[in-house]
Amino acid sequence: MKSALVVAGFVIDHGPAAKSAGERLGRRATPAALASVGITNEHSIAWGCAQAFKAAGAELAVTWCNDNARFYVEPLAQQIEAAIALPLDVEQPGQLEDVFEAIADRWGRLDFLLRSIAFAPKSDLHGRVVDSSREGFTRAMDISCHSLARMARVAEPLMKEGGSIMTMSYIGAEEVIPDYGLMGPVKAALESTVRYLAAELGARGIRVNAVSSGPLVTRAASGISHFDVLLAAARRRTRRRRCAVRLSCGRRSKGDNWQHNLYRCRLPHSQLRQWEQRACDNQNRGGVMKAEVDGPQTIRNRPFADIAVGDSACVTRTLTQEDLLLFAAVSGDFNPQHLDAEFAASTRFHGIIAHGMWGGALISAVLGTHLPGPGTVYLGQTLRFRTPVRVGDTLAVRVTVTTRDETKKLLTLSCKCTNQDGVDVIEGEATVLAPTDKIERPAIALPDVRISQNGASTAKRRPRAH
């Protein structure tokens, strides 16, 4: 009998391809069914998981949380040829039961449940925990924590031969993380719920575990204040000095055996240690389903009508020696301060620093590809260079809407580049003419670049999307 797998809005029915993957890992030939709710777009953790299982020959079912998400999810469902596509808002009575009834009708069983949802009202998330409202705290707990228990309850009868339930957590459940706020105690409650569910369901052969990827740039993460600073801090703690770009289980980076780590969660709960709950936090140890991707498959904008004061976007980028050489070659700026180590050592900066406009170009990239995105017309920019940027520095580049002109469709945005130590290196203000129509285009693949210097060449990969 085939087993089914639901991945955060996905149900996966495994075929022969999954069998070989299980055998290579020394596990049961057919992976367990997985139910995971929370996909919103192609950057979602759930989408990365679904790609992995689809690549293993799985058949999937997809859910969306509301009509806005449906616009992004349905094309993804078509891409993976999902067998089931249904709405699932855990606050709406009956929708959860409808999804699992559809699973029962189609597959008759469920082996794996992967849940990837969390929510807190913005006003409570951005404030102090001590100031959180009763209504906001209650709603955050219901969606982010208690929904796991409800899902486990409807999944249990389908896990006839045992199974595994996984949910996504974060180190903010154990440590005080700046700006994580209300989600800290909510995640702590979630992890406690995981332990109790594991004890209650273990006798039926159902394992329950929490998995953390560390901080990732997702739509949900954009709701956390100063998330760019959190990313930079996490990056400093990792051995490789970088975080996962996004969870994309469909691809696998060298040394990151996401398959092995995922299948570990099928071991008896007594054999699972805190490693599973902190798979990537702090150490970024190639935890569950982590892999880098070359960038988004599509690029889309945010038209003027969808942009409000306070909206922001952020990307991160680490400066390399090759970046300096390429920027000099393209711009024609051969100032030895940026290229000649011997000369630069004798200057007030005591070493090579980046061209100031390298950071300015990153700001332009955020405006042109994220907020507002394609269709944006750059009208003006001011910049103040506060601190030099050196090779190896990682910048979080953030733009935030400060004013909007309804008549002229003009936006003013504050611009800030912050290094891995939390120091602001560039500040400024941009004025742009925002697009009025939605634009979505296939992302243009950038070429690899090879730098030739004194007869030697160095391959320069195109920059990764962060």
Residues recognised as catalytic: 170, 180
Which phi and psi (to 5°) does residue 432 adopt? -135, 155
Distance CA 247, CA 49 (A): 7
Q: Judge whether 424 and 414 are in contact, CB under 8 Å.
A: no
Distance CA 127, CA 182 (A): 8
Q: How many CA atoms lie within 13 A of 405 on its CB side?
A: 11
Q: How remote is the C-alpha of 432 from its chain's centroid?
A: 27
Residue 247's contacts (CB-CB under 8 Å, 6 or more residues apart) are 45, 48, 49, 213, 216, 289, 290, 291
Tell whether omega for the bond before 372 is within 30 degrees of 0, i.e. cis. Answer: yes
Terminal-to-terminal C-alpha distance of the chain: 41
Beta strand 424-433 with 377-385: parallel, antiparallel or unpaired? antiparallel
Query: The tokens of 287 are what?
Result: 């935890």
Provide the 8-state DSSP code for 233. Answer: H
CA distances from 251 to 91, 131, 240, 246 (A): 33, 42, 19, 11
At 145, which amino acid appears?
Answer: C
Helix, strand, or coil (residue 93): coil
- By 3-state DSSP, what share of the chain in percent is helix, strand and coil, each rounded to 5? 35, 20, 40
Distance CA 125, CA 120 (A): 6
Which phi and psi (to 5°) does residue 299 adopt? -130, 130
Where does residue 190 rank: exposed (0-12), middle (13-18), buried (19+ CB within 10 A)?
Answer: buried
Residue 51's contacts (CB-CB under 8 Å, 6 or more residues apart) are 80, 248, 249, 250, 251
Provide the 8-state DSSP code for 34. Answer: -
Where does residue 96 rank: exposed (0-12), middle (13-18), buried (19+ CB within 10 A)?
Answer: buried
Beta strands in 393-453 (DSSP E): 394-405, 410-418, 424-433, 440-442, 449-453
Distance CA 370, CA 315 (A): 9
Q: Judge whether 249 and 53 are in contact, CB under 8 Å.
A: yes
